Amino acid sequence: MIDVDAREIVVEGVDVRELYGAKNVYLEQIKSLHPKLRIVARGNALKVIGSKGDIEPFERRFHQLIEYYNRYGHISKEVVSQAFAASATAVEQLAEPMENGTILYGNNGLVVKARTRNQQRMVDIYPANDLIFAIGPAGSGKTYTAIALAVRALREKEVRRIILTRPAVEAGEKLGFLPGDMKEKLEPYLQPLYDALNDMIPPLKLQKFMEEGTMQIALLAYMRGRTLDNAFVILDEAQNTTRSQIKMFLTRMGRNAKFIVTGDVTQVDLPRRSDSGLVGAMDAVRGIDGIGFVEFDRSDIVRHPLVKHIVDAFSRSEQHDDKE
């Protein structure tokens, strides 16, 4: 007589909606692969009923599936099949070959990949450079690509934390007129960084990262005095830093750190365009081994097709104004 056992597996740090798939497609697949077990999902708990000899290997492989999801942020029917195959003994065996140009898999199976020549160049020079300057027009994907590289580095345990920062320079608006305390005033300014992260990290996981400090989003002023070890740090909107600010930022680099600086020198929001320290900083460090440069252009713009024409129109207008 077979003794019937029951075990509850609690799914922690993972959005079960992502893990089980749309309309529970992956959960139903898991059930079909284990006809001897009764599997019932209630919230973030999975109750498994059956013989001890069947439950133990199921639990081990289910945790491997969760580990795979935490590492790659992606689940597919093929991955589920492989996870519960008799030969699957480690999460490394579940890894799927990345599609050409793919940086990582984001939420809901989103494929985050280099979509232009200079985005791919940024991915290519990343392994050999601990500091990269990515400069170019709005919409060219420089910040999005940088964040994708950072999330991949965190998943692959190359770094222990990600820090995203921006200078607090108002783009024509006055922060003082916004409602709320200083944190609430600044959150809309940092929203583009949150938008990219929300594409790549499940909401519950991102919230956990924020709470434990694995993911930090802060203003540049708060970088002063810090030494950033084992971190992937992105300075966005760097055209709005002064020479002293960007020097301060670059000298925060600690052991096993990766830094990416992004900016658009045509959109300086400082009182005087000449106050920007970005170009001067690039000129100062150019030629140092381990520092890479990617210059994006209008051909890299991946937003609405009209954005390229808008950038061209403003460029022509500014050239005309300079001649007058």
- Where are the chain's structural domains? 4-94, 102-323
Cβ atoms of 75 and 51 within 8 Å: the answer is no
In angstroms, the CA 65 to CA 111 distance is 19
SS3 47: strand
Q: In CATH terms, are 4-94 and 102-323 the same topology?
A: no
CATH fold of 4-94:
Ribosomal Protein S8; Chain: A, domain 1 (3.30.1370)
Q: How far is CA 87 from CA 14, 78, 80, 83, in A?
A: 25, 14, 13, 9
Half-sphere exposure (Cβ direction) of 199: Cα atoms closer than 13 Å: 17
CA 303 to chain centre: 18
What is the pLDDT, as a whole number, of residue 239?
94
Residue 290 tokens, joined: 């381990």
Rounded Cα distance between 187 and 199, Å, is 18
**Top-level class of domain 102-323:** alpha beta
pTM of the model: 0.74
Along the 324 residues of the chain, how does pLDDT read in single tens digits? 456 788 888 887 777 887 888 888 999 999 999 999 999 998 888 999 999 888 888 988 888 888 888 777 677 788 888 888 755 555 555 555 556 678 988 877 788 889 899 999 999 999 999 999 999 998 899 999 999 999 999 988 999 999 999 887 654 444 555 555 555 656 677 788 888 999 998 888 888 899 999 999 888 888 888 999 999 999 999 999 999 999 999 999 999 999 999 999 988 888 888 889 999 999 999 999 999 999 999 888 876 667 667 877 887 776 656 555
The DSSP bridge partners found for residue 216 are: 163
Identify the pLDDT of residue 306: 79
Please give the helix or strand (H or E) that residue 142 lies within, else none.
Answer: helix 142-155
Dihedral sign computed on CA atoms, order 186, 192, 197, 198:
positive
* Residue whose structure tokens are 């020097």: 247
Structure tokens at 210: 């924020």
Q: 210 Cβ partners below 8 Å, 6+ apart?
A: 216, 217
So what's the pLDDT on residue 312? 74
N residues, the chain = 324
Supply angle C-alpha 96, 101, 104, rounded to 5. 50
